[in-house]
Amino acid sequence: MSNDIAGIEDCDAMLVIGSNTTVTHPIIGLRMQKAAKNGSAIIVADPRRIELVDNARLWLRQRPGSDAALVNSMCHVILRDNLADESFIKEHTENFAPFSAAVAECTPAWAAEITGVDESAIEEAAHIFATAEKAGIFYTMGITQHTSGTDNVLALANLALITGNFGKRGAGLNPLRGQNNVQGASDMGCNQAFLPGYQRVDDDGARRRFEELWSTSLPAKPGLTATEMTDAILDDRIAGLWIMGENPVLSDPNSDHVRKALAKLEFLVVQDIFLTDTAELADVVLPAAAFAEKDGTFTNTERRVQRVRKAVSPPGEARDDLSIINLISARMHLGHHVAQPQLFSTYTNRCNNASCLTPPFPAEVFDEIGQAWPFLAGMSYERLEKGGLQWPCPTDDHPGTEILHANGFSRGKALFSPVTWKGPSELPDDAYPLVLTTGRVLYQYHTGTMTRRSELIEEADLGPYVEINPADAEKLGIADGDIIQATSRRGSISLPAQVTERVDSGVVFIPFHYREAAVNVLTNDALDPVCKIPEAKVCAVRLEKRS
């Protein structure tokens, strides 16, 4: 998020697009609802009638995969009606002309055709957003999990730029990160192209700094993304894989493909708290500690680094991930590589007891992170004891940064990127006439390894289901509660139907938490060409009532 969570209540208007916030981020959803009660105008853009629609001034039901067209058209209206923040554009941005030319064609009439949203609604949305003094944009995977995911985000950035909604409270471009520490994992450089702190591996200067810090030489060629690894395994380019705390067999699109790849590996080690579907394929499974069993930090969606504290011991011989990494490092003894086999210079095996931490301790690693990335240099466990801090926090006395770009953009001027709408890679046809979109429910989380083992949650939840519009249900002879076979080009699952107006006709929705009806067996693993995100949010399916 460019802004912070507390600031949501200050938004005069907000565009919530591709985010079922009250379900995926319930406490942020609560802040939005409170803002609405206090007069903030919420525009919800979502193919489903999500709960937040009840609190919204306006609901746009765009077709799945048509987001960029909708957003471009809003920009078109804003420019057409002279509602843009011209002084902001002049002072803080560049490349405006090509952008302006690109959206010139994106008339509401054009967008209405693609999105299914009325022209007047697009115009109203543009007006609400542009006339608000402070307007924030909030999105999640509904925007990004598309073959055009990068374009969708750029289109939203353009919208925030032309309305001058950066660098002030109650505004901003705010991706709501889905997992507790997805922000931190990215920050820490668990990415094939970036070292910690978003420093490119192919940037010689950056790499040299890390080579110095780590006293070793580093590879300059960017590696493979998680989504590319699957094919690389099948092509024999990757032989060994270490998966720490992931369950790609359930979470990734086109599960069967992933399963095939993992099975082909020469060597797979999985480190997790449960024997997941992925772990079952491993050659070695290492038992890890859960969040309440270790110390460390998570970074939340508003860039706030917060402490994680050990409350109980891990079960049996399970150990925290940091200790496991260190223990494996100590055994590597690579002849051709650096003399020093240990990952951290302070590493000494001070303790042989399985239940105790293997040094270096989290606080020591955190201090090294501060050396690696200046944005965290001003943080320490001691400071975090008093509460979380938002990066950038470069010095010991820096209070942290609630709002990014308050003093201008780090690259000088923000860049407009013209975006051309491209449809999803798979569209409905006669054989697969319905559009399937996926998402979450309030009670479950991701692949359910945790929530489905929490008794009360499982008790309160309804289990897997497919949402289908009454009109479609009638056509197919489906009644509420019927068991349905859902089939795509990649696979088939069966689950009960929920006949509801929440989805439009032609669209069906399935939550992805349930291994007994794993929707990612159906979804499309086609990738966004830039960031390699898969198109989990749109694919074509066929529904049949099971006899």
Q: Is 498 in the site for another protein (CB under 8 A)?
A: no
Nearest to 298 by CA among 184, 388, 218, 148: 184
83, β-bridge pairs: none
Taking residues 514 to 543 in sequence order and writing x for each that binds another protein by CB under 8 A, - otherwise, the string is -----------------xxxx-x-------
Burial of 410 from C-beta contacts in 10 A (0-12 / 13-18 / 19+): exposed
Nearer Cβ to another protein (85/467)? 467
For residues 302 and 499, what is the distance between their CA atoms, to the nearest angstrom? 37
For residue 466, count CB atoms less than 10 angstroms from its CB and return exposed for 0-12, middle for 13-18, buried for 19 or more.
buried
d(CA 196, CA 191): 9
Residues 5-34 that bind another protein (CB under 8 A): 5-6, 24-28, 30, 33-34
CB 35 within 8 A of CB 11: yes
Contacts of 84 (CB under 8 A, 6+ apart): 78, 130, 162, 163
102 scored as a contact of another protein (CB under 8 A):
no
Residue placing its CB nearer to another protein in the complex, 331 or 546: 331
Residue 83 interacting with another protein (CB under 8 A): no
The span of 88-96, 338-346, 394-402, 489-497 binding another protein (CB under 8 A) equals 338-346
**Touching another protein, residues 278-337 (CB under 8 A):** 279-280, 282-288, 290-294, 296-302, 304-322, 325-329, 331-334, 336-337
225 binds another protein (CB under 8 A): yes
CB closer to another protein, 65 vs 362: 362
Return the DSSP state at 412.
B
Q: How far is the CB of 249 from another protein (least distance, A)?
A: 12
Window contacting another protein (CB under 8 A); options: 86-94, 222-230, 395-403, 427-435: 222-230
Nearer to another protein, 90 or 350 (CB): 350
Q: Please name the residue ranges forming H helices in 319-454.
A: 321-330, 362-372, 381-384
Pick out residues in 458-497 that bind another protein (CB under 8 A).
Answer: 459-460
Residue 386 near another protein by CB under 8 A: no
**Binder to another protein among 398, 457, 485, 506 (CB under 8 A)?**
457
Classify residue 247 by burial, with Cβ atoms within 10 Å: 0-12, 13-18, 19+: buried
The verdict on 442 binding another protein (CB under 8 A) reads yes
Both structure tokens of 248? 């790609």
Beta carbons of 159 and 137 less than 8 angstroms apart: yes
269 sits near another protein (criterion: CB under 8 A): yes
CB of 313 to another protein, least distance (A): 5
What strands, in cross-sheet order, belong to the sheet with 389-390?
A: 296-299, 304-308, 389-390
Q: Counting contacts by CB under 8 A, is residue 243 touching another protein?
A: yes
User: Hunting for tokens 């009454």 — which residue is that?
Assistant: 470
- What lies within 8 Å, CB to CB, of 217 at 6+ separation is 211
Tell me the window of 72-80, 193-201, 417-425, 428-436 that interacts with another protein (CB under 8 A): 193-201
Rule CB under 8 A: say whether 246 interacts with another protein: yes
The stretch near another protein (CB under 8 A) out of 9-17, 366-374, 410-418, 423-431 is: 366-374
* Residue 189 binds to another protein (criterion: CB under 8 A): yes
Structural tokens at position 461: 């939840």
Q: Which two tokens stand for residue 273?
A: 């708290």
Candidate residues 99, 129, 375, 443; the one interacting with another protein per rule CB under 8 A: 443
User: Exactly one of 131, 168, 178, 264 binds another protein (CB under 8 A); which one?
Assistant: 178
Q: Does 454 bind another protein (CB under 8 A)?
A: yes
Cβ-proximal residues to 516 (8 Å cutoff; 6+ apart), any chain:
464, 495
